[in-house]
Amino acid sequence: SYELTQPLSVSVALGQTARITCGGNNIGSKNVHWYQQKPGQAPVLVIYRDSNRPSGIPERFSGSNSGNTATLTISRAQAGDEADYYCQVWDSSTAVFGGGTKLTVL
Amino acid sequence: QVQLVQSGAEVKKPGASVKVSCKASGYTFTSYGISWVRQAPGQGLEWMGWISAYNGNTNYAQKLQGRVTMTTDTSTSTAYMELRSLRSDDTAVYYCARVPGLAVAEFDYWGQGTLVTVSS
């Protein structure tokens, strides 16, 4: 079965740029979606189909996908960006989630 | 605005069944699918399956085949997920999420979640 690998945690200084990676075999050939989940809340879609932002998501959130790695980039990180982030793809009609990355804003 | 409102928390004994509902509003129900995703305490997201609200076609995670059934009621724009033969490791928050009809689509709106606790 297809697997997605994310770092357990990423730290970023306030106002700096955070990058969260999602590794998978030839993931560049798939559409990658990213979700933000704050404690006690449902996930929220922040990037869809590699690099598209839903309405209401700040321009500070961007995504890229190539080769074996997809990346979620959060520019000018704010305290409110502290959350768990999950990548997700479809493989053989099955949705697959990465294990999640906890983003800490210092 | 799009809303998915789920039923309330449940406590079940091992071996029992649970049925969670997800009432949709703010869009044409039959133009989208619904996926169910669960999250055990302190753990990540696990996809359970998908149902087309258009024709009722389903696709379940292999791990849950035989124990899960997803249905829809188009007259009330409500999706249901039933899980049988509950075990302690089924304790989780269960989410419904809307899925545009593409095979590679994102989960663009989520319900608030339903906590299911399995305990003797």
Question: pLDDT of B56-74, one tens digit each?
Answer: 999 999 999 999 999 999 9
Q: Nearest Cβ partner of B35 from A42, A95, A98?
A: A95
Q: Tell me the per-residue pLDDT of A33-73, one tens digit each, with 9 for 90 and over.
A: 999 999 999 999 999 999 999 999 999 999 999 999 999 99
Q: Which of B92, B37, B44 is nearest to A101 (CA)?
A: B44
Cα–Cα separations (whole angstroms), residue A102 to A8, A105, B68: 6, 10, 30
In 10 A of CB B97, how many CB atoms?
Answer: 25
CB distance A51 to A64 below 8 Å:
yes
- Residues making up chain A, counted from first to last: 106
Q: For a pLDDT cut of 90, what percent of chain A falls above it?
A: 98
Please count the other Cβ atoms lying within 10 Å of the Cβ belonging to residue A75: 14
Distance from CA of B18 to the nearest CA of A (A): 20
- Using the beta-carbon criterion (under 8 Å), do B110 and A100 form an inter-chain contact? no
What was the pLDDT predicted at B28? 96
Q: What is the pLDDT of residues B3-33, one digit of tens each?
A: 999 999 999 999 999 999 999 999 999 999 9
Q: Interior CA angle at B57 toward B56 and B63, to 5°? A: 120
Contact B59 A96 (CB under 8 A): no
Q: Given this model, what pLDDT does residue B102 score?
A: 67
Phi, psi of A37 (to 5 degrees): -135, 120
Average pLDDT along chain B:
96
Residue A77 clears pLDDT 90, i.e. is over it: yes
| For residues B36-62, average pLDDT | 95
Residue A42 has its nearest CB partner, among B50, B104, B111, at B111
Q: What are the tokens at B91? A: 């304790």
Contact criterion met (CB < 8 Å) for A42 and B103: no
Separation between Cα atoms, residue A9 and residue A106, nearest integer Å: 13
Establish if B103 touches chain A: CB-CB under 8 angstroms. Answer: yes
Round to whole Å and give the CA distance between B82 and B109. Answer: 21
CA dihedral B86, B87, B88, B89 (to 10 degrees): -100
> In the structure encoding, which two tokens stand for residue B30, read together?
């039959």
- Give the nearest partner residue to B113 out of A42, A89, A94, using CB atoms: A42
Chain A neighbors of B108, CB-CB under 8 A:
45, 48, 54
Please give the single-letter amino acid code of residue A63: G
The pLDDT assigned to B101 comes to: 74
B112 at interface of A, judged by CB pairs closer than 8 A:
yes
Is B47's Cβ below 8 Å from some Cβ in A? yes
- Per-residue pLDDT band for B103 (boundaries 50, 70, 90) equals low
Measured CA to CA in angstroms, residue B67 lies from A5, B11, B56, B64 at distances of 28, 18, 18, 6
Please tell me the predicted confidence (pLDDT) of residue B83.
98
Q: Mean of the pLDDT values across residues A69-78?
A: 98
Confidence of residue B104 (pLDDT cuts 50, 70, 90): confident
